[in-house]
A and B are shown apart, each in its own frame.
Chain A
Amino acid sequence: MRPVGLVLEHLWTWYRRNWRATVVSSVLMPLMFLGAMGFGLGSRITPGPATHFLPYVVYLAPAMLVALAVQVATGESSFPVLGSFKWDMRYFAITSTPVSVDQLLTAQALWVALRILVSGLAYLAVAALFGAFANAGALLAVPVAMLAGMAFGSWVMALAATVNDEGTMFGNVFRFVVVPMTLFAGTYYPISQLPAWSRPLAWVTPLWHGNELARAVEFGGMDLLTAAGHVGYLLVLLAAGLLVARRRFHVRLKV
């Protein structure tokens, strides 16, 4: 455990000096989306079956938290990981000490989870001030968001450990996976609004499972078996992503 802690301390030391830049993208942006969509557009939406008969902003707030988690996880697992292999080679430096590759990967994954936790709590606190959350169940949405974010982030990490040419890969991931996922996987409206053939596409995404769970912990109305199914799917996705990432880390660090 100690080596994992040391790597975490290293990441934290860097972050302590550079956190300001992340405030805009990981806290202010979701809040602005919540304001524009939740309050602005929400004022044109009458509560109905599509929004669980809740004001739109309350319906949107927990899912926005999950979308934030996926975005933070993608950001923290893409260029920073690739850069640690390629640009400053700090992973090679770290694994040349008594820190093993598995410990390094554990620490990196924990770090991403911590970043989600901190951004999520900051978002939750400000959004709650504006009355976007109905009850304290929203606090439970934070671990849900962490799980969903990591389920996606682990795969991005595996990708970052694979690619050598930074060129366009992450830009494409963001444009063709993350953004469409946010738009079509039930963050802004239930996927029952979409044509039936497109719904299975949403079922595959971790974001949809995260959204369903995050709304369930705040608003209730989900039976235990369904909830277990969502959690199970996310856990399987996370475990598989971490295994692939582990394989890629071992290959790249040649041990």
Chain B
Amino acid sequence: MLLRIVPVGSYAGRARAVVERSALVNRRNWLLVLSGIFEPMFYLFALGIGFGGIVGTLTGPDGQAVSYAAYVAPGLLAASAMNGAVHDATFNVFMKLKYAKVYDAMLATPLGPTDVALGEISWSLIRGGIYAAGCLAVMAALGLITSPWALLALPAALLIAFGFAAVGMGASTLLRSWQDFDLILLVQMPMFLFSTTFFPLTVYPEPIQIAVQCLPLYHGIELMRDLTSGAVTWGILGHVAYFAIMVALGGWFAARRLGKLLLT
């Protein structure tokens, strides 16, 4: 079925080879790969413990008062899924595409651009999955998880990462030079800071609230917060749909652009 939608020659069903290559390349870099787990931890400890004493309790998704640490942790989890995915899908992809010419080499083998796109995204999802699992373990140890629904937080983190990786990869095919990474940062950082990661939506005036609600990370954070606190309603399907659309559009665009750039 999928082979009928995707143009012939674009997909050879061998995305696994691309993942295997990434694992081989990173075999000696595992410290840097794993170190990605520490950044959300640092934020969690700093904000949870440090701010815990200054900020009073906040209102959780189900209307109950929660500690600041319990409030900020799911936000950080979603944000770290985004940061990791975007970093992988832009920085690494741009490097391989433009300088290391890894993809040109890959396409000389029986791989198509869709294999490359899927393989790269899968690798970044494996990384993201490790980070999210680590984060969730620490949250559970600190007693910040109050519902069995949190088991779904891991697949949710992967979905969030998938959405951002697909869009990020599409965007990185449009980059011209290293200076353009500032443009990505310019989208990513405000989203990280203002999408209710650190404070509730209600601090904003009405028009800004609506703008924030359009951002993808807002939906990721809401999804995560609902799951870890157990305030699960049908509404979370809306958040899931948002990311499904990101995956579809971003993936389609990335595969098409890669095909064009690599002259297949």
Contact = CB atoms under 8 A, between A and B. Distances in A.
Contacts of A45: 51, 54-55
A51 B55 CA distance: 11
Contacts of B198: 36-37, 40-41
Interface stretch (A24-32, A82-90, A209-217): A24-32
B32 A29 contact: no
Interface residues of A, number: 37
B182 interface: yes
B46 A50 contact: no
A175 interface: yes
A46 B55 CA distance: 8
B179 A176 contact: no
B51 A189 contact: yes
Given A36-B198, A37-B198, A44 B56 contact: yes
Contacts of A243: none
A13 interface: no
Contact of A28 (B29, B32, B45, B186): B186
Q: Specify the main secondary structure of chain B where it touches its partner.
A: helix
A180 interface: yes
A204 B242 CA distance: 46
A48 interface: yes
B194 A193 contact: no
Interface size class of B (residues with CB under 8 A): 20 to 34
Contacts of B185: 24-25, 29
Contact of A44 (B29, B58, B179, B194): B58
B186 A188 contact: no
Given A36-B198, A51-B54, A193 B186 contact: no
A67 to B, nearest CB: 13
A228 interface: no
Looking at A46, A179, A189, which has the most chain B CB atoms within 10 Å of its CB?
Answer: A189
A97 interface: no
B95 interface: no
B194 A36 contact: yes
A33 interface: yes
B53 A168 contact: no
Interface string A174-205: 01100110011000110001110000000000
A20 interface: yes
B29 A168 contact: yes
A179 B83 CA distance: 15
B234 interface: no
Contacts of A18: 179
B50 A194 contact: yes
A232 interface: no
Contacts of A43: 199, 203
Given A24-B182, A28-B186, A44 B203 contact: yes
B123 to A, nearest CB: 18
B39 interface: yes
B15 to A, nearest CB: 27
B42 interface: yes
B34 to A, nearest CB: 11
Interface in B189-221: 189-190, 193-194, 198-200, 203
A27 to B, nearest CB: 12
B51 A188 contact: yes
A194 B198 CA distance: 19
B29 A189 contact: no
Interface in B27-43: 29, 31-32, 35, 38-39, 42-43
Contacts of A193: 49-54
A5 interface: no
B142 to A, nearest CB: 14
Contacts of B203: 40, 43-44
Contacts of A195: 49
A40 B53 CA distance: 17
A25 B46 contact: no
Contacts of A176: 35, 38
A188 B55 contact: no
A5 B232 CA distance: 64
Interface-centre pick from B47, B51, B52, B56 (highest chain A CB count, 10 A): B51
16 contacts: A24-B182, A29-B185, A29-B189, A33-B193, A40-B198, A41-B51, A41-B55, A44-B55, A45-B54, A50-B54, A172-B31, A172-B35, A175-B38, A188-B51, A189-B53, A189-B54
Given A25-B182, A29-B189, A40-B203, 4 more contacts: A40-B194, A41-B55, A188-B50, A193-B54
